[in-house]
């Protein structure tokens, strides 16, 4: 008897075909993926603009799996209520964008969402020391945020191991999510280092058989 993988797979909608978005959402619904990963970019915090509330609302109407919303924006506190109303299950903000991170995390939880914090590649793990017990998710950026299809940063493995040690030492329930450059060649190694959730964008949507690719990723971990 084989044991089911506990690792969650979250295809990134940023890599989908925006002209055929309903088709790609249906594809994720029909696959073994666990979450929809949705990147909201403002062109200020990161040098790119993705999509905003109307597109997220459209995704939410068709999605049959939880929405994992990653805010790559300045002043995310302004929009917490909006994303709650749009059905976000997990809402992650960047540590680098929040002056009062504890307040932001509490505001997310007060709206009934899971609270996540994302770290850019240069941001050290120890900055989470005093907040890790309040978090449901930590998003480790394994590429520089803003664009899909970038090369995976090898230091990520060491960072994940350090984060896992911090989570265990502080008896936190936070899951570790890896965002950027995830594919079949590094998935198992990331899980071995301590990852719980793998975001996969181009690797899934550039595949001729995305549903099969998602299942293969599941099988690896």
The domain segmentation of the chain, as residue ranges, is: 8-220
Give the angle subtended at the CA of 70 by the CAs of 69 and 75, to the nearest 5°.
Answer: 115
Q: How far apart are the first and last CA of the chain?
A: 16
Contact between 15 and 181 under an 8 Å Cβ cutoff? The reply is no
Tokens of 30: 């029909």
If you search the block for the tokens 């209520």, which residue do you land on?
A: 81
Contact between 79 and 73 under an 8 Å Cβ cutoff? The reply is yes
Tokens of 117: 């914090």
User: In degrees rounded to 5, what are phi and psi of residue 7?
Assistant: -70, 130
**What tens-digit pLDDT sequence spans the chain (221 residues)?**
334 458 999 999 999 999 999 999 999 999 999 999 999 999 999 999 999 999 999 999 999 999 999 999 999 999 999 999 999 999 999 999 999 999 999 999 999 999 999 999 999 999 999 999 999 999 999 999 877 778 899 999 999 999 999 999 999 999 999 999 999 999 999 999 999 999 999 999 999 999 999 999 999 88
Q: How many Cα neighbours within 13 Å face the side chain of 37?
A: 27
Q: How many Cα neighbours within 13 Å face the side chain of 167?
A: 18
Q: How far apart are CA 69 and CA 55, in angstroms?
A: 12
Which residues are catalytically annotated? 39, 179
Q: How far apart are CA 203 and CA 220, in angstroms?
A: 14
Give me the CATH topology for the region 8-220.
TIM Barrel (3.20.20)
Predicted local distance difference test score (pLDDT) of residue 151:
87
Q: How far apart are CA 175 and CA 194, in angstroms?
A: 9
Predicted local distance difference test score (pLDDT) of residue 146:
78
Q: How far apart are CA 124 and CA 194, in angstroms?
A: 17
Tell me the pTM. 0.95
């Amino acid at each position: 008897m084989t044991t089911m993988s506990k690792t969650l797979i979250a295809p990134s909608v940023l890599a989908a075909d925006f002209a055929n978005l309903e088709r790609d959402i249906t594809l994720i619904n029909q696959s073994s993926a666990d979450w929809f990963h949705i990147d909201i970019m403002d062109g200020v915090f990161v040098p790119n603009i993705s999509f905003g509330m109307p597109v997220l609302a459209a995704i939410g109407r068709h999605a049959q799996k939880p929405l994992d919303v990653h805010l790559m924006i300045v002043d995310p506190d302004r929009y917490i209520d909006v994303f709650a109303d749009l059905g976000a299950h997990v809402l992650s903000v960047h540590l680098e964008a929040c002056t009062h991170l504890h307040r932001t995390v509490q505001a997310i939880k007060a709206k009934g969402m899971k609270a996540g914090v994302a770290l850019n590649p240069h941001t050290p793990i120890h900055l989470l020391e005093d907040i890790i017990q309040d978090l449901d998710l930590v998003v480790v950026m394994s590429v520089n945020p803003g664009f899909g299809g970038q090369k995976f940063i090898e230091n990520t493995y060491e960072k994940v191991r350090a984060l896992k040690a911090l989570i265990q030492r502080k008896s936190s329930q936070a899951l570790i999510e890896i965002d950027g450059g995830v594919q079949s060649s590094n998935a198992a190694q990331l899980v071995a280092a301590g990852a719980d959730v793998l975001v996969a964008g181009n690797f899934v949507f550039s595949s001729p058989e995305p549903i099969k690719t998602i299942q293969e990723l599941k099988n690896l971990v």
